[in-house]
Structure 1
Amino acid sequence: MKKFNLCLLAGAVAATFLTACSDEKMDEAVLPQQESLSAKIDQPTDLEKVCYYVDNNWNSTAVLMTGLQNSADTNFMNSQMTKIASMWGRSNPTLRFVNDPSNYNSTYNAISYSNGKIYYGYAIYYDAKAKGGDIVNAMILAHEYGHQLQYIFGLPSVNENTARPNELEADGFAGYYLRRPNGYNKTNFSEIAAAYEFAQSIGDYQTNSPGHHGTPAQRRSAVRLGFLLGQYDLNASNFDYNFFYYYQGVLNGTYKMGKNSANPEIDAYMSQYIDELKKIQSGEISAEEFKNLK
């Protein structure tokens, strides 16, 4: 299996990598997600079976697929998709994979669409698996599903001039999934080392760019905050409230003086981690120290 150097690719894909997209040329109109009574994986439509052009977010030579290179990888991703959606009490979005035999590197991307679809590139899947195993792809998929929650519930509640709130909250959703008992069920933070190292590596410093996803330190702290909130059973809107209640304080270098009246039990738990989150965001806690957090 050919492996790709993330450092070489990061500059080329930073603006779209692990992202959300509200426009898709394959469909005439973007419709709200339709709930079904079954969590069964959607089968390809007739259009998907005959149309090899994916959309304008991918190369013209890219091909839309219903599976990866082998059944084990395909089954893993489909089962994770079901588990992630089920944890949030939702049915599955449509999960498809994108291959490009003419330019494999062009599929180093994963995109969540506002019409209930997630397209996942071959290159990013196999490089992530090579770098950190299955948990990295579980994190990426949970991040992309976080964007689905944002579309459905009109999140995030915080808006900026860049994509940062959307992307950091999606990182938080991913960290939350990795901890939850009905999610990936990793209760020790060091167990998800490969996932948060990957999140750190895809941060950027283009803070004035509309596509800014957050700095590496901010992305690390977003995953950590989501993981900490995984101590509690939250719905998407309640997660959003708590995520930004604490994360805004981290971004500003301050902690809100008012107490979290909506969830006082969470406030009591989170109070012991506020200084830590500030130090992660500022870089005072090194990457090596970050790996050893409990």
Structure 2
Amino acid sequence: MLSLFVRVNTSFCRYRSASAAALSLLLLSAAAVAQTPAPPPGPRFPRAKTSVRLIGCATATRTSSLKIDRRDPTRIDGFGRLVDLPLKSAVQEAVRADCAELRSQFGIRAPLFFVDEETSPNAVAIDYPLDKRFPDGTVLFGKKLFEREYSKGRFGIPTTIAHEFAHIMQYKRKFPAMTTKWQELHADFLAGWFTAHRARFWPDNSDPNVSARTVYESGDYQFNNPQHHGTREERFAAFRAGYKLNREDVADASFVYTKGLEYIQSRGARIERANRLGSTGDPDIPFYRNRAAKQ
């Protein structure tokens, strides 16, 4: 009987020891799991479409943002699709030269792409760099707008390009919060300055009269539209002010940027005079003089 008790007691002790060991091993495993960092999450796939901010455009639009399809980056929802225009070599060279000079003068890095726009003719600047070599944004020039301006004498094209590159400059320099209208007039001011600057280094391929008409005709009277760009008279007045500044031998674009801010901040008298289209005209730009004579 005693030997049976000893055998049972010995087996129980062995069982208790084994259970304690198993429990200790379980606790150690739990502690190890608690101290082990969680595995990294799986890859995050980007959204199919990325919203980009519209930081400026040539004419008033009803939207302030566009979308780019990551699966097809040539597609710009809300505007159109990137295209290659079959331009004459001389025109291609002119566009390249204008873009290079604007990047140099405005201190920005942005490319220009042509778009077969689904909207009315327009050109826009966005904050998204379609070409990573140019991180400051992108200018999109509509095919219909390009063809329209080319048919009118083509000299409105570099002015429109300058207007959009001015928006990139505004974006990079954190343009102060103002309504769209004043941002656009400031871009017109810079475009006017560049138009005169361009006539200096490329006099045989410039016509400020055509450029002035392009800006004037881009004005609108959509006063209830948040994207209202300014009236025809206001836009022309801003363009003319920038143009004259270059004619006065002001060659520093950074200084011109600041003068443009001063212009729109003290906008009342100058713009009101332009709105009336008085009889004084502008001796530097025949279009204004001729139009004033017809009033």
**TM-score w.r.t. length of structure 1:** 0.64
Q: Which amino acid in 1 is paired with 2:105?
A: M
Query: Is the Cα contact below 8 Å between 1:98 and 1:107 reproduced in 2?
Result: no
Q: What percent identity do the matched residue pairs reach?
A: 22
1:22 shift after superposition = 6.8
**Distance across 2 between alignment mates of 1:168 and 1:90:** 20
Query: Is the Cα contact below 8 Å between 1:179 and 1:185 reproduced in 2?
Result: no
**Distance across 2 between alignment mates of 1:252 and 1:227:** 19
2:100 paired residue number: 82
Query: Is the Cα contact below 8 Å between 2:190 and 2:242 reproduced in 1?
Result: yes
Task: Provide structure 1 residue ranges, at least 5 long, that are not aligned to the other structure.
Answer: 1-14, 29-46, 254-273
1:132 paired residue number: 153
**TM-score w.r.t. length of structure 2:** 0.64
**Distance across 1 between alignment mates of 2:203 and 2:289:** 14
1:263 paired residue number: none
Q: Which amino acid in 2 is paired with 1:114?
A: D
Selected match of 2:67 from 17, 25, 32: 25
Query: Is the Cα contact below 8 Å between 1:17 and 1:108 reproduced in 2?
Result: no
2:215 paired residue number: 199
Q: Go from structure 1 to structure 2 and tell me whether the alpha carbon gap of 1:207 and 1:289 turns closer, same or farther (over 3 Å shift).
A: same
Q: Go from structure 1 to structure 2 and tell me whether the alpha carbon gap of 1:240 and 1:84 turns closer, same or farther (over 3 Å shift).
A: closer
1:245 shift after superposition = 2.3
Structure 2 residue 277 is matched with structure 1 residue 283: yes
Structure 2 residue 123 is matched with structure 1 residue 110: yes
Question: Which structure shows the bigger proportion of residues in strand conformation?
Answer: 2
Query: Is the Cα contact below 8 Å between 2:82 and 2:114 reproduced in 1?
Result: yes
Query: Is the Cα contact below 8 Å between 1:177 and 1:184 reproduced in 2?
Result: no
Per-residue CA distance 1:244-286 (angstroms, 9 max, x = gap): 323443x322xxxxxxxxxxxxxxxxxxxx6xx7532332246
Task: Answer with 1 or 2: which has the greater Rg.
Answer: 2
2:196 paired residue number: 179
1:292 shift after superposition = 5.9
Query: Is the Cα contact below 8 Å between 2:108 and 2:169 reproduced in 1?
Result: no
**Distance across 2 between alignment mates of 1:223 and 1:163:** 16
Selected match of 1:147 from 143, 167, 170: 167
**Distance across 1 between alignment mates of 2:211 and 2:94:** 16
How many pairs align? 219
Structure 2 counterpart SS, 1:244: helix
Task: Provide structure 2 residue ranges, at least 5 long, that are not aligned to the other structure.
Answer: 1-55, 129-136
Q: Go from structure 1 to structure 2 and tell me whether the alpha carbon gap of 1:153 and 1:84 turns closer, same or farther (over 3 Å shift).
A: same
Per-residue CA distance 1:51-77 (angstroms, 9 max, x = gap): 27522221xxx4312x31224233332
Per-residue CA distance 1:58-105 (angstroms, 9 max, x = gap): 1xxx4312x3122423333222111111122334x12111126xx6xx
Q: Which amino acid in 2 is paired with 1:226?
A: G
Structure 2 counterpart SS, 1:55: strand
2:22 paired residue number: none
1:17 shift after superposition = 3.9
What RMSD, in angstroms, separates the aligned Cα atoms of the two structures? 3.3
Query: Is the Cα contact below 8 Å between 1:200 and 1:220 reproduced in 2?
Result: yes
Q: Go from structure 1 to structure 2 and tell me whether the alpha carbon gap of 1:68 and 1:291 turns closer, same or farther (over 3 Å shift).
A: farther
**Distance across 1 between alignment mates of 2:199 and 2:148:** 27
Selected match of 2:241 from 210, 214, 225: 225
Structure 2 residue 261 is matched with structure 1 residue 244: yes
